[in-house]
Amino acid sequence: MSKLCTLWRREIAAYFLSPIAYLVMVSFLVLTGFGFWMLVLAFDGHTNPVSVMQVFFGSFFYWIGMLMAVPVITMRLLAEEKRLGTIETLMTAPVSDAAVVWSKFLGAVTFFALLWLPTTAYSWILNQFASAPTPIDWGPVVLAYVGTLLVGMFYVSLGLLASSLTQNQIIAAIVGFVLVAIMFFLGFMMNIGPAWLQTFFGYIGSIEHIRDLARGQLDLRRVMLYVSVTVFVLFCTQKIVESRKWR
Amino acid sequence: MIAVENLTKKYAGVTAVDNVSFTVKRGEIVGFLGPNGAGKSTTMRILSAFMPATSGKVTVAGYDVFTQSEDVRRRIGYMPESNPLYLDMRVSEYLNYRAALKGVAGAKRKARTDEVLERCGLKDVRRRIVGQLSKGYRQRVGLADALVHDPDLLILDEPTIGLDPNQIRQVRQLIRDLGKRHTILLSTHILPEVEMTCNRVLIINKGRIVASDTPENLTKTLEGGGTVRAEIRGDRAAVERELRSLPGVKNVTFEPGGDDFIRATVFAPPRNDVRVHIYEKAAANKWTLRELSRVRQTLEDVFVSITRVEPSAPKQEEEK
């Protein structure tokens, strides 16, 4: 456990020792901030059936931020270790492959969470500066953040899987983006194909999940879905890391 | 300390290590030699539990490297060939992180890092970022990392590669010091270094161990180990005839030695000392004998003669 912690701390440090972290954070804030500003502008002066935050989660900018940020966060995780050769010093230290994979995952999820942290200010801003002060319903906002974290965990695990396949960070980013994008767009499939397929895709559509959470509907089955799928992808990643032993 | 039995490693059809067996005893400093691609790094990677063997049994300190891999990894300090390091960390940060990873308890960590910083001459650069250090310093950081958890066994894959002569000398001295407390297996291309630091040499070629002995014994048993040089003043034809007729002599070459002397190189098998015979011939024929000495074979000669490309490849017969 202490080794997992050591590895996790190294992952966090690695993010902030490279300029990419700051670049990602700034770009992410510019993007989501711009989206938030546009929404506020659109909502201003009208009576609206839904709240700004409810629309924000599930908006175009929200998903663009999600889809672009995750592959950039995850691309270096294992690919860089392989390119530098540090995978050899890492794996010959007395740590298990599982600890390495989980620490990288947790490190990336921590950074992902830090990315979203400043956006919590949006709700506060609304509360403070809205022309006609409307009390914010904090429950759905908190739920939406929980959902963001769940979807983020799943996407990060996919990005980590992509990073375990190559020693080239660009390839890891592209493969990661493709995997994440496929998972995202599967949600749109709920309107085409035979009925049973539509039902199936309806279950796994992330857009729908986030929207429901932002409305305040918590479905524990969906929480379980994300947790179990994430664990499964991490398990696959661990097997890929172990594969050097039987290839 | 290390016991390797019938180790074989195959990569996609290529046999990198072919049925290799050897042992390393506690306290030995063993030099692992071989041409590039002979299987040195592969063997070292298997020993350090980075990857498993295709077949065969490898134990380190009594633990199986495959089934008890973490026990093995706790006891070895491994420095890979290219000396990979996290270039974005500071030296002391990196060593502290590695110490934690290798299970050095928090309370002892500071003392351990300080000790290896001191030993490897890194005190002055402890606050520097690894990526900004020169190659020599990085090499020392790699060594310090291998040492930081005070392992029983050090496996060093080319620890002196890319260093300048002064740095090589320092690292060699460090290795010799370390050899007093640790068992060391090191690979290198710098053969004089092995002669100076190692108790024993393993030579591997094309995945097989072709020699295993002390450097002195290896140079003695080498074909040509009985080669003798003599500088004689006398009738050239007579000298030539007499030397060639000595028992066991395979070949003699002659060249002018200056001052009317003939410099003769007599090739005889090892353990057949022709020096006495040459002296007797000189005395009988009233030649003047100015020099009579054994030609010392270096480990380099041994290495070349054992691992030389077989005649199927381009013929490059040396002077012999």
Q: Is the pLDDT of residue B108 over 70?
A: yes
Q: Is the pLDDT of residue B313 over 50?
A: no
Between A1-10, A124-133, B191-200, the lowest mean confidence (pLDDT) is in A124-133
Q: Which residues contact A178 (CB under 8 A, 6 or more apart)?
A: none
Mean local confidence (pLDDT), B174-195 = 84
**Nearest-angstrom CA–CA distance, B261 and A167:** 65
**Nearest-angstrom CA–CA distance, A109 and A52:** 26
What was the pLDDT predicted at B314? 42
**CB–CB contact A6 B70 (8 Å):** no
The answer to whether A7 and A13 are in contact (CB under 8 A) is no
Mean per-residue pLDDT over chain B, rounded: 83
What was the pLDDT predicted at B316? 42
- Residue A182 vs residues A49, A67, A166, A206, A209: alpha-carbon distances, Å: 32, 10, 20, 11, 16
**Nearest-angstrom CA–CA distance, B149 and B171:** 19
What was the pLDDT predicted at B222? 61
**Nearest-angstrom CA–CA distance, A240 and A202:** 30
- How close B50 gets to chain A, by Cα (Å)? 6
Mean local confidence (pLDDT), B197-211 = 85
Model-level pTM?
0.83
Cβ pairs bridging A and B (under 8 Å): 66
**Nearest-angstrom CA–CA distance, A156 and A158:** 5
**Nearest-angstrom CA–CA distance, B31 and B191:** 9
What was the pLDDT predicted at A51? 78
The answer to whether B54 and B209 are in contact (CB under 8 A) is no
Q: Is the pLDDT of residue A104 over 80?
A: yes
What was the pLDDT predicted at A106? 96
Best mutation target, A2, A88, A95, to test chain B (most B CBs within 10 A): A88
Listed residue (B307, B308, B300, B299) closest to B208, CA to CA:
B307
A contacts of B71 (beta carbons < 8 Å): 94
Burial class (CB in 10 A: 0-12, 13-18, 19+), A219: exposed
Residue type, A87: I
Mean local confidence (pLDDT), A105-113 = 95
How wide is the angle at C-alpha A100 spanned by C-alphas A98 and A105, nearest 5°? Answer: 95
What was the pLDDT predicted at B91? 94
- Residue B71 vs residues A56, B67, B149, B267: alpha-carbon distances, Å: 52, 9, 13, 52
What was the pLDDT predicted at A57? 85
CB-based contact, A246 to chain B, within 8 Å: yes
Listed residue (A39, A186, A85, A77) closest to B81, CA to CA:
A85
CB-based contact, A198 to chain B, within 8 Å: no
CB-based contact, A19 to chain B, within 8 Å: no
What was the pLDDT predicted at A134? 64
Q: Is the pLDDT of residue A72 over 90?
A: yes
Structural element, H or E, at residue B156: strand B153-157
Mean local confidence (pLDDT), B99-118 = 90
The strand order across the sheet containing B228-233 reads: B251-258, B261-267, B228-233, B288-294
Listed residue (B249, B224, B254) closest to B239, CA to CA:
B254
Mean local confidence (pLDDT), A127-146 = 78
Q: Which residues contact A191 (CB under 8 A, 6 or more apart)?
A: A198
**CB–CB contact A14 B88 (8 Å):** yes
Q: Which residues contact A192 (CB under 8 A, 6 or more apart)?
A: A198
**Two tokens, residue B38:** 């002979």
Q: Which residues contact B111 (CB under 8 A, 6 or more apart)?
A: none
CB-based contact, A91 to chain B, within 8 Å: yes
The answer to whether A66 and A152 are in contact (CB under 8 A) is yes
**Nearest-angstrom CA–CA distance, B266 and B270:** 12
**Two tokens, residue B131:** 């990526």
Q: Is the pLDDT of residue A79 over 90?
A: yes
**Strand B200-205 to strand B208-213: parallel, antiparallel, or no bridges (unpaired)?**
antiparallel
What was the pLDDT predicted at B225? 61
Residue type, B145: D
CB-based contact, A118 to chain B, within 8 Å: no
What was the pLDDT predicted at B241? 85
Name the residue in chain B with its Cα closest to that of A7: B101
What was the pLDDT predicted at B62? 87
Best mutation target, B47, B73, B101, B108, to test chain A (most A CBs within 10 A): B101
Listed residue (A143, A114, A158) closest to A25, CA to CA:
A114
A contacts of B9 (beta carbons < 8 Å): none
**Domain spans in chain A, listed from the N-terminal domain onward:** 2-246
- How close A232 gets to chain B, by Cα (Å)? 24
The answer to whether A117 and A193 are in contact (CB under 8 A) is no
Mean local confidence (pLDDT), B71-94 = 91
A91: helix, coil or strand? helix
- Residue A154 vs residues A68, A183, A224, B51: alpha-carbon distances, Å: 14, 10, 11, 30
**Nearest-angstrom CA–CA distance, A176 and A169:** 10
CB-based contact, B86 to chain A, within 8 Å: yes
Residue whose token pair is 């351990």: B112
Mean local confidence (pLDDT), B197-209 = 85
What was the pLDDT predicted at A165? 93
Residue whose token pair is 């003392």: B111
A141 pLDDT band, cuts 50/70/90, is: confident
Between A74-88, A198-212, B33-47, the lowest mean confidence (pLDDT) is in A198-212
Best mutation target, A9, A87, A89, A91, to test chain B (most B CBs within 10 A): A89
